[in-house]
Amino acid sequence: MQVSELGEFGLIKRFRKSIKTDASVIKGSGDDCAVLAFDKDNYQLFTCDMIVEGVDFTLKDDASLIGRKALAISLSDIAGCGGIPRHCVVSLGMPKDTRVSFIDKLFGGLSRLAKEYKVNIVGGDISRAPRIVVDLSLLGLVEKKCLVLRNGARVNDLIFVTGAIGGASFGKHLSFTPRLKEARFLVENFKINSMIDISDGLAQDLRHLLEESRLGGIIFEGLVPLSARVSDFKTAVSEGEDFELLFTLSRSEAARLMGKRIKNFFPIGQVRDKKFGVKLLDRNNKEVDFFSNGFRHF
Amino acid sequence: MQVSELGEFGLIKRFRKSIKTDASVIKGSGDDCAVLAFDKDNYQLFTCDMIVEGVDFTLKDDASLIGRKALAISLSDIAGCGGIPRHCVVSLGMPKDTRVSFIDKLFGGLSRLAKEYKVNIVGGDISRAPRIVVDLSLLGLVEKKCLVLRNGARVNDLIFVTGAIGGASFGKHLSFTPRLKEARFLVENFKINSMIDISDGLAQDLRHLLEESRLGGIIFEGLVPLSARVSDFKTAVSEGEDFELLFTLSRSEAARLMGKRIKNFFPIGQVRDKKFGVKLLDRNNKEVDFFSNGFRHF
């Protein structure tokens, strides 16, 4: 069997089953970040993301945006848990004939974003590789009372996103703003029951959140904000790399959030019980199965 | 200019100059691990290493040894700082047509070594890539009083290694034992002034340790233990991936260590002042410049 038959999530599930961790691991594989014991008031967050030439970027892309992206996707994972990013290490693989000016730009984009979010670059590794590959590991902190995971959704919670969905293929995947500010505003002021960053597409990450919470839900197509350059709802919720946050909170907390009239939070659906499944109320007010239309990645 | 002209260490120096870190970073880029504030008695260690198909291993190698190596080289970095490994995340890039059985074996080798050293595998990332690439980031802890860096060597310190040098090309690079036990024995019982794990070859890593300490030194060729299958001293100290520890301690501490008659610690030289340079006393008792014989990697 080849890995393409099993798919990314099949492989991850396969590994995860065999892993045992000790009591210092509050949450291991299976969320945006690992959650580790740290001190009386805080947990440590730990996440890594690899980007590869020809898959996540091409050599025609602006090198500084490639470096920026390498860090931004991990910042988005820290945001997904409600945390504050702190320290990163960077592994960089590249062919021998890579131009130093290209690597300078890549590193420049990364270090400017690091500075913007007060992230310390504390180490790394440089290796020869057939294509450019950047793997970044990021540590963060989150107050115990602010930690949000995927598995905390409750029946009747409202489902929100932090911004327009779709459009990664038009360049947003290289220039997005990780939603750290929004995440901290949410966890400091509201009881957020569950949250995930949308890296695999709204459809896939909604599935992750609801599966981890062992619940169902309904999305109202007409409420989902779409990127300006996207016309097709199915494509928008499937293509991935939005790096918006998807989160749920109780109806009373949601009312309080909406009362603040802040532009960046959009209610798009509601959590239901497991038996209900995951449905879409489409533009004709027809309730259809959310995943029956080819929204799955694998 | 291409990166091959600048070399790995040229690139690292280039990046390092531009990096600023805050007070929670005790030691950033430039040692075996980054050293971060943790609690009253301990520092946190943070390191990453990338291995790439065709560079660090081939598909003819036993996949379980490839997975093992991905973790072992980071364990060796933790050993180099005198620490105890704790948690890792693993990024895995692979072509679509990679066999699941290969990845199973790779992950099996990694997770068996993790279990042996009580390391929690807490997360990861799986990505498509043109060749197999494994990047692993590892967290560890070290008591403040046990931390050893590269830069603490003192004039007249004796220089030791923990085992035979050379032989990586005969398979040792895939099956070596990271010297965690030896490192902990040393830092718990002796005042170790400086230490580094030998990943780039004895010659290169001796240079790193002495440059960071701003000192010189002399190595006695006749004292350096060589792997059984290596006949040529120059090759042995140049080829890299020994993953033994190179460390220095005062003559009185060295006498105490040698008095214990433990097999695994070999005195091979002595630290001198910067002006002295780095010399080799060869088998004819001739003092030669250590680096004049093509020992440099780049």
Closest CA to A8 of B140, B241, B98: B98
Cβ contact B106:B134 at 8 Å: yes
Confidence of residue A170 (pLDDT cuts 50, 70, 90): confident
Does residue B177 fall inside a structural domain? yes
Q: Rounded to whole angstroms, how far apart are CA atoms A255 and A265?
A: 12
Identity of residue A228: A
Whether residue B130 sits in one domain with residue B166: no
Cβ-based contacts of A138 with chain B (< 8 Å): none
pLDDT at residue number A89: 97
Q: Which positions of chain B have pLDDT values less than 70? A: 292-298
Global pTM reads: 0.94
> What is the chain A residue with the closest CA to B30?
A123
Q: What is the DSSP letter of B97?
A: T
Identity of residue A53: E
Closest CA to A250 of A271, A265, A225: A271
Cβ-based contacts of B128 with chain A (< 8 Å): 52, 55
Whether residue B172 sits in one domain with residue B93: no
Q: What is the DSSP letter of B145?
A: G
3-state per-residue secondary structure call for A199-268: CCCHHHHHHHHHHHHCCEEEEEHHHCCECCCCCCHHHHHHCCCCCCEEEEECHHHHHHHHHCCCCCCEEE
Cβ-based contacts of A55 with chain B (< 8 Å): 127-129
B16-33 pLDDT per residue, tens = 888 889 999 999 998 999
Mean pLDDT for A277-281 is: 95
Total number of residues shown for chain B: 298
Cross-chain CB nearest to B122 (options A28, A107, A118): A28
* Domain final position from B145, B165, B185: B145
Cross-chain CB nearest to B124 (options A6, A29, A89): A29
Cβ contact A138:A124 at 8 Å: no
Hey, are the CB atoms on B2 and A56 less than 8 Å from each other?
A: no
Compute the C-alpha angle A283/A293/A250, nearest 5°.
Answer: 60
Hey, are the CB atoms on A12 and B87 less than 8 Å from each other?
A: no
pLDDT at A297 over 50: no
% of residues, chain A, pLDDT over 70? 98
Cβ-based contacts of A127 with chain B (< 8 Å): 50-52, 55-56
pLDDT at residue number B250: 98
Q: Rounded to whole angstroms, how far apart are CA atoms B167 and B156?
A: 30
Whether residue B213 sits in one domain with residue B270: yes
A258-267 pLDDT per residue, tens = 999 888 999 9
Q: Rounded to whole angstroms, how far apart are CA atoms A100 and A111?
A: 16
pLDDT at A118 over 90: yes
Q: How far is CA A280 from CA A214, A222, A291, B260, in A?
A: 18, 10, 9, 73
**Ramachandran quadrant class, B126 (left: phi over 0; alpha: psi -120 to 50; beta: rest):** beta
pLDDT at A67 over 50: yes
ipTM for the predicted complex: 0.93
Domain range holding B8? 3-145
Identity of residue A154: R
Backbone angles phi, psi at B45, to 5 degrees: -105, 145
Q: Which two tokens stand for residue B62?
A: 């036993």
Cβ-based contacts of A18 with chain B (< 8 Å): 107, 111
Identity of residue B145: K
Element (H, E) at B27: strand B25-27
Q: Which two tokens stand for residue B160?
A: 């030791």
B257-286 pLDDT per residue, tens = 999 988 899 999 999 999 999 999 999 999
Cβ-based contacts of B47 with chain A (< 8 Å): 89, 123
Q: Which two tokens stand for residue A289?
A: 């199965």
Cβ contact B47:B141 at 8 Å: no
> What is the chain A residue with the closest CA to B73?
A125
Hey, are the CB atoms on B96 and A126 less than 8 Å from each other?
A: no
pLDDT at residue number B148: 98
Whether residue B43 sits in one domain with residue B18: yes
For residue B289, give the 3-state DSSP assignment.
strand
Whether residue A138 sits in one domain with residue A13: yes
How many domains would you assign to chain B? 2
> What is the chain A residue with the closest CA to B53?
A129
DSSP assignment of B229-243? T---HHHHHHS----
* Domain final position from A145, A166, A185: A145
Ranked by mean pLDDT, the top range of A13-27, A167-181, B150-164 is: B150-164
Whether residue B204 sits in one domain with residue B278: yes
Q: Rounded to whole angstroms, how far apart are CA atoms A89 and B48?
A: 7
* Domain final position from B116, B145, B174: B145
Whether residue A176 sits in one domain with residue A68: no
Mean pLDDT for A137-146 is: 98
Residue to substitute from B1, B3, B76, interface A, most A β-carbons within 10 A: B3
Mean pLDDT for A219-237 is: 91
CATH code of A46's domain: 3.30.1330.10
Whether residue B253 sits in one domain with residue B139: no
For residue A109, give the 3-state DSSP assignment.
helix
CATH code of B230's domain: 3.90.650.10
Hey, are the CB atoms on A133 and B129 less than 8 Å from each other?
A: yes
Helix axis angle, B63-80 to B180-189, nearest 10°: 10
Greater model confidence, A83 or A261: A83
Does residue A52 fall inside a structural domain? yes
Q: In what order do the strands lie in the sheet with B216-220?
A: B192-197, B245-249, B158-161, B266-272, B216-220, B278-281, B287-289
